[in-house]
Amino acid sequence: MRCSTCDAPAVIDQPYRDVHLCAAHFRASVEERVRREMHRQLPRFARGTVAVALSGGKDSAVALALAHRYFHRRPTVRVVALSVDEGIAGYRAGTLKAARTLTDSLGVEHRIVSAQEGFGTTIDRTASDLPGTVPCSFCGVWRRQLLNRAARGVGADALVLGFNLDDLAQTILMNLVHGDLDRLVRMAPHRVRQPGLVPRVAPLARIPEREVFLYAKLKGIPFDHGECPYAGRAARNLFREVVWQLEEAQPGTRQALLRTHERLVTRFLTDEGSATAPARCRACGEPATTELCRACEYVEIARSVPSAPEAS
Ligand code: Q46
Ligand code: ZN
Ligand code: ZN
């Protein structure tokens, strides 16, 4: 296969655009899509702090590398990487190490916050105390809140997330299937400011997962290949499979889901004036749509069962 632009050997095909690209044109196409997306989601951002959520996996590593590339010529913009240690043995230590390798190589400030400090427990402990539950439900909610607090703590004006096109297409489909319009409107990337929430941007929104992986490989961006031991239990797996099958049968499905979402949000904002403004949680003061935020609700559930003694 040859590059559709310059005839050099192709390294990837993009069936949704019906083209093949060589390494140089592929890298340029990723960088240009991310640059445009960053500009669209953070218009005229020339001064302030941008936090980047960095797990140490490929997506967040590429998001940080490209955010650094985008902002590094603007000395008035500070980029800070934020990592969350949820307490997952055999997994998180490796990803945090990769995260540190990347921040050191870029010269980016790096802070780590933990579920233990924030919520007094870990995902491992919760998974063993509540064997019938899906650890990812707790993990996702707690991580979101820890990142929001940490981003506020460093005075961030925006929080960059490594969500790629596949992630977003899956989330959109999940929320549609669950009929959860509120969550559909509130999901990142954020179009309106919500009190107490650092606006989340997703510069990889137009980049399919396999292209993020290839870009990281071609650029030699360090990331950890490990898989979380709880990943097999995630509710998202079904939607990953469904989106993948739809994309195979009908290239461009993921982009179509993204466009549908953008139009729905536009329509919703026009009709309602603004996105649902969250109130504050009565326990922790973080933004919440109910009296008690979901992070605190999960802390109460986790505390309601006596913890098994720690293995030594
Ligand atoms: S870390 Fe947490 Fe993921 Fe592990 S427990 Fe699930 S959500 S799979 S990104
Ligand atoms: Zn080419
Ligand atoms: Zn709360």
Per-position DSSP letters for 257-290, written without gaps between them: HHHHHHHHHHHHHHHHSSSPPPEE-TTT-SEESS
pLDDT in tens, 119-167: 999 999 999 999 989 999 999 999 999 999 999 999 999 999 999 999 9
| Ligand 1 and 231: CB distance under 6 A | yes
pTM, two decimal places:
0.92
d(CA 60, CA 159): 12
- Indicate whether 125 belongs to any domain: yes
Of all protein residues, the one whose alpha carbon is nearest to atom 7 of ligand 1 is: 136
CB distance 276 to 186 below 8 Å: yes
- Indicate whether 110 belongs to any domain: yes
Q: Where are the alpha helices (DSSP H) in the chain?
A: 23-41, 58-71, 92-106, 115-119, 123-129, 135-153, 165-177, 181-186, 209-219, 236-249, 253-272, 294-303
pLDDT in tens, 205-245: 999 999 999 999 999 999 999 999 999 888 899 999 999 99
Q: Is the pLDDT assigned to residue 307 strictly greater than 90? A: no
CATH value at residue 210:
3.40.50.620
Q: Is the pLDDT assigned to residue 112 strictly greater than 80? A: yes
Q: Which residue has the tokens 């009565």?
A: 282
Of all protein residues, the one whose alpha carbon is nearest to atom 5 of ligand 1 is: 136
| DSSP 8-class letter at 122 | -
CB distance 159 to 45 below 8 Å: no
Of all protein residues, the one whose alpha carbon is nearest to atom 4 of ligand 1 is: 228
Q: Encoding tokens for residue 230?
A: 């709880």
- Indicate whether 298 belongs to any domain: yes
d(CA 247, CA 254): 7
Q: What is the mean pLDDT of the chain?
A: 93
Domains of the chain: total? 1
| Ligand 1 and 228: CB distance under 6 A | yes
Q: Is the pLDDT assigned to residue 267 strictly greater than 90? A: no
Task: Print the domain residue range for 120.
Answer: 36-304
Q: Which residues pair with residue 158 across a beta bridge?
A: 50
- Indicate whether 31 belongs to any domain: no
pLDDT in tens, 155-172: 999 999 999 999 999 999
Ligand nearest to the CA of 140: 1
| Ligand 1 and 30: CB distance under 6 A | no
- Indicate whether 290 belongs to any domain: yes
- Indicate whether 2 belongs to any domain: no
| Ligand 1 and 229: CB distance under 6 A | no
Of all protein residues, the one whose alpha carbon is nearest to atom 8 of ligand 1 is: 231
- Indicate whether 6 belongs to any domain: no
- Indicate whether 17 belongs to any domain: no
